[in-house]
Chains A and B, each alone.
Chain A
Amino acid sequence: MKSSKIAKRGQKAYIYILPWLIGLLVLQLYPFIASFIYSFTNYNAFGKMNFIGLDNYIKLFTKDREFYKSIGVTLKYTLLTVPGKIILSLAVAVMLNKARKGIGIMRTIFYLPSLFGGSIAIALLWKLLFMDSGLINSILNFFRISSISWLGDPKVSLVTLSSLEIWQFGSSMVMFLAALKQVPQSLYEAAGIDGANRAQAFFRITFPQITPILFFTIIMQTINALQNFTSAFVITKGGPVKSTYMLGLKLYNDGFAYYKMGYASASSWIIFMLILVITLILFGTQRYWVFYEDEVK
């Protein structure tokens, strides 16, 4: 009797997780495996397909100069956006943590940009803001500063795209805010009695206490940045002179504009490996700086 009840409950559980399971199998696992198979073929999306072994991978590494350029651009973008976003979100979170009035409204306002995510509309907004005749330059001109070619100058364009990513710092900020709230007040009180100043309190107490969340945020943001596509596609199309030609966009062009699905699949696997390696390295570093309370011996 009892065991059949449990079995029934078990079956029910499967029904509950079915939507997620179907999503995982159809939208994640199937394309994941399919792209791996395609990466060894010359599949062109119209149906013809021959197995060509490692040719796609060999071509990527030996003949495709844009591939190296794209890796460079993508890493640069990651190095600009991840620290930028972390520092900004942490600073705002610390500020909000201290504030007593209107924190709810402020938190919502800061969080709003994150809700828009990688949307086309926001990317278009960014394009309009940063155009040569856009709002940002108009403001600069008002203060008698000459216009900057935000999207047309190869030296500036990637920074402009990064600013869009950094602007969407809200979700990391909310995480930090939650982490800050969890730091026990008793620690600060003890530190105060011992005569620690605010900076010491932050670096000796706050920072170690929130390192698990910091670590998590860095990992998530790094993966996010390495996969960026929308802003480069909508705002700059990878230009000027390929200065914003990120891997995600190159992959898209190879597959959908040049009909080289197999080749694009191979580069998607290279990006996957790149992300995997970077993530593993980050995981490797955590024992040097991430503080988990249960590990205190």
Chain B
Amino acid sequence: MKLKKIMAVILAASMMMSLAACSNSTDSAEKAPSNDTTVTKAPDAGTNTSDAEEAHDPVSLRFSWWGGDARHEATLAVIDLFEKEYPWITIEAEYGAQDGYNDKLMTQFASGTAPDIIQLETGAAPEYYAQEQLLDLSSTSIDFSNFDPTFLENNGQFGSGSQYAIPMGKAGTAIVVNKDLADKIGIDFTKPYDWNQLIEWGKQVQAYDPSLYLISGNETYMMPFILRAMARQMNGLPIINDADNTLNMTEEQFTQALEFIKQLYENNVAVPLSYMATYGVNNQDDPNWIAGKYVAYVGYTSSADVMQAANPNANYIAGNLPVFADRKSDGWVNDCPQYVGIYAKSKNPEEAALFLDFFFNNEEAMKTLGTVRSVPPTEKAQKITLESGKLNPLTKMAVDVSMQYNGKSDSGKTTSAEVSAILCTAYENVAFGEKTPAEEAKEIVSLINDYLAAQ
């Protein structure tokens, strides 16, 4: 029995050690998104007759992205097209849902095993650039002549003057409105309106039928919709001034913004977060959305078609976006839904550049991709998509709406994972009524200052 005691001590000790020793390898295995798929596409050798194929050693590249089924299918089809044209290059596709995408990428960066070609979240890309994980694309063979130079400068250069990431589409915040329902209740999203109008409309909806809500919005999208947009409208600037590591927003301004969030949930203008929580950002799965119980959905132009497809019986339009009457800037931004970049440590940067050049400049590729990453980023691709009938009218309307505002992107420290988490926590605490707007505003200022001090 003494032996049992000793065994117990040894076992207990080794189990405890396993936590402090939580290694990268176990983590990356555990945290990979469950619906992640890795498919190796075999090169279609026989199809290319050019004699160039003899001269090249076979090269294999990895390309990772997130998205829904339509995006996966179109992207895989473009990979097929590319491999037919460049038979010595094989592209391994690594795709899945957006859940956990950044976490996985982070472990890959840390271990030096990131894919050669990487789709990047706009909020996270500045950090990857700062950590020197992205290749300078201006030094590669990629032809950027189809892009609008200002659009490129604002999206993916991170102030460096060189292109480190390519915007994959044109996008912005979108309010997808169920027009039939809005008309029935007497709500008009096509005219300009201010933030308080949303609260009034919300009350109107509840008075019409208490089982209906004005806004369906998940926390991940609602936080930037309110806090970051209000900041840009109040000051014409992002929440954080990246150059000197200071806050542009004051505590009073945060209180004002959080007060709005409180109103939103106290008056049942927006669907309670406790209900939204289980759907994450997959709001097309919400049975109430499918049943047409919400007047509007707050999201991005890139997901407009997905939301539309979930309930095809309704007529949808893209609504205008709320603004303060005394704003310094409209705040709403036309930027891109995601970037694509090449890993700085890629062993085959030339081939990766060949692929991206094909991806953005080949007409067949443009036609195949359509709007699976929102409206295409180049004029030429937009024209081709329109002509082929692949430009979803709702997506186009949403992008057109977002282009009428003059806001500037706040991509940078404001959009970093840690600051976003601080703001989301504050949003949640106020929405659940756990803390008052004033308490949370104080907390945000203190936490962001801590974050900035460590930069």
Contact call B429/A219, Cβ cutoff below 8 A:
no
Interface residues on B, range: 35 or more
Residues 216-270 (chain A) with a chain B CB within 8 angstroms: 216, 219-220, 223-224, 226-227, 229-230, 233-234, 236, 239-242, 248, 251-253, 256-259, 261, 268-269
Q: B276: shortest Cβ distance to chain A, in Å?
A: 8
**B1 and A268 contacting across the interface, CB-CB below 8 Å:** no
Show the binding face of B for A, using Cβ within 8 Å: 1-2, 4-5, 8-9, 11-12, 14-27, 30-31, 34, 102-103, 106-107, 109-110, 127, 131-133, 272-278, 287, 417-418, 421, 425, 428-429, 432, 434, 450, 454
Quick check: A240 and B19 within 8 Å, CB to CB?
no
Within the assembled complex, what's the spacing in Å between the Cα atoms of A272 and B17? 7
On whether the beta carbons of B22 and A257 are closer than 8 Å, the reply is no
Indicate whether A202 reaches chain B with its CB closer than 8 angstroms: no
Q: A28 CA to B20 CA in the complex, in Å?
A: 9
* In contact, B16 and A279 (Cβ under 8 angstroms): yes
Given A220-B11, A223-B12, A227-B19, do A257 and B1 touch, yes or no (CB 8 Å)? Answer: no
Q: Is the CB of A257 within 8 A of B23?
A: no
| Contact A240 B428, CB 8 Å, known A31-B23, A253-B421, A275-B19 | yes
What 0/1 readout, one digit per residue, does chain A (286-297) give for beta carbons within 8 Å of chain B? 000000111100
8 CB contacts below 8 A, A to B, read A28-B17, A28-B21, A42-B454, A149-B274, A151-B277, A212-B4, A272-B20, A294-B1
Q: Do residues A45 and B22 form an inter-chain contact, with CB atoms below 8 A?
A: no
The answer on a CB contact under 8 Å between A294 and B2 is yes
Q: Are B275 and A132 in contact (CB under 8 A)?
A: yes
Min CB–CB distance B455 → chain A (angstroms):
11
With known contacts A152-B272, A240-B274, A272–B106 Cβ distance under 8 A: no
B21 adjacent to A45 (CB under 8 Å): no
- Segment among A10-18, A78-86, A100-108, A119-127 that sits at the interface with chain B: A119-127
The closest CB in chain B to the CB of A270 belongs to: B20
Residues in chain A within 8 A of chain B (CB atoms): 27-32, 35-36, 42, 44-46, 63, 120-121, 124, 127, 130-134, 149, 151-154, 212, 215-216, 219-220, 223-224, 226-227, 229-230, 233-234, 236, 239-242, 248, 251-253, 256-259, 261, 268-269, 271-272, 275-276, 279, 283, 292-295
Q: Is the interface of A mostly helix, strand, loop or mixed?
A: helix
| Cα distance A220–B16 in the bound complex, in angstroms | 9
Residues of B within 8 A of A216 (CB): 4, 8, 11
Q: Which residue of A lies closest to B105 (CB)?
A: A256
B20 near A268 with CB under 8 A, answer: yes
CB distance from A127 to the nearest CB of B (A): 7
